Amino acid sequence: MNSSGRSHHSHGSDLNNSDRSQHTARSEGMSSVSSIIGLDKTIEVRREEGDLLHNMVHLEVPFGKPIEEVYDGVHDGKLLGSGISGVVRFVTHRATGVEYAVKCLDLSLVKTEESLRQLREEIFVMCELDHPNIVRLDEVYESHTEIYLVQELCLGGELFDRLDCQPDYHYTEEECARLVKQIMNSVRYLHLKGIVHRDLKLENFLFSTTAQDSELKMIDFGFSKHFHDGEVLEEAVGTPYTVAPEVIKGSYDERCDIR
């Protein structure tokens, strides 16, 4: 465990005497059990290349410790949100009592190579991010049917709802400037790391708490992608009513996040 209390390495199944070589590899930070979608091997390679900002994201592949043994509420906790790929639930760490949000991604919906690639990309992107205005990924668990992303819990609601549900509250110029600054800082951080979000909207910014001066957190990296300087992107992704016109035309770059 590192100083923040997160494991640096992946865990697999119990080992017998014939598995000593695998145990040695695992103790050095490599998993002895293959991930269904290859997360363990790819993450390990990217760690060796220095690609991941923080190695603290813990990965638990199939036959390792089930997430249900670590967190309470994985399948029956309060529903925080839902989407085309799965649901987000409120969970509590059984040992520490710390509360998190877990995004449960249904692997039965991953039916094409492209959807598999995008699922990998979402997880790899989140493993690289460490910014006060971007939701933090702490752990990744994988079963034969689902991927579980254990994330920082944000209880303040969406930016959209706060603006829409407080018609009698008028934000001051100073408050608006503070929110816009947080949004732009998170976008700038992404782009400097060579990542484009491709689905930025008011609904994808959550307040950390219910306080009026709470920090904003960018969420939902399901359409995110790594890019190179000068690269022209062509995939038509995002939310129709907020997507940039150039995305619909099929020729755009990272600037689509701010248009």
- Domains defined along the chain, listed by start: 17-151 (3.30.200.20), 159-258 (1.10.510.10)
Scanning 39-134, the segments in alpha helix (DSSP H) are 39-48, 67-70, 113-128
Backbone φ and ψ for 154, nearest 5 degrees, come out as: -120, 120
| Contact status, residue 52 vs residue 128, Cβ threshold 8 Å | yes
pTM above 0.75, yes or no: yes
* pLDDT tens by residue, the chain, 259 residues: 333 333 333 333 333 333 333 333 223 332 333 465 566 555 555 555 555 444 557 777 666 789 999 999 999 999 999 887 889 999 999 999 999 999 999 998 888 888 888 998 999 899 899 999 999 999 999 888 899 999 999 999 999 999 888 777 888 999 999 999 999 999 999 999 999 999 999 999 999 999 999 999 999 999 999 999 999 999 999 999 999 999 999 999 999 999 8
Q: Which of 40, 199, 220, 257 is catalytic?
A: 199
State yes or no: 111 annotated in a binding site. Answer: no
Told to judge if 199 belongs to the known catalytic residues of this protein, a careful annotator would answer yes
Q: What is the CA radius of gyration of the chain?
A: 19
Cα separation values, 176 from 63, 182, 204, Å: 48, 10, 17
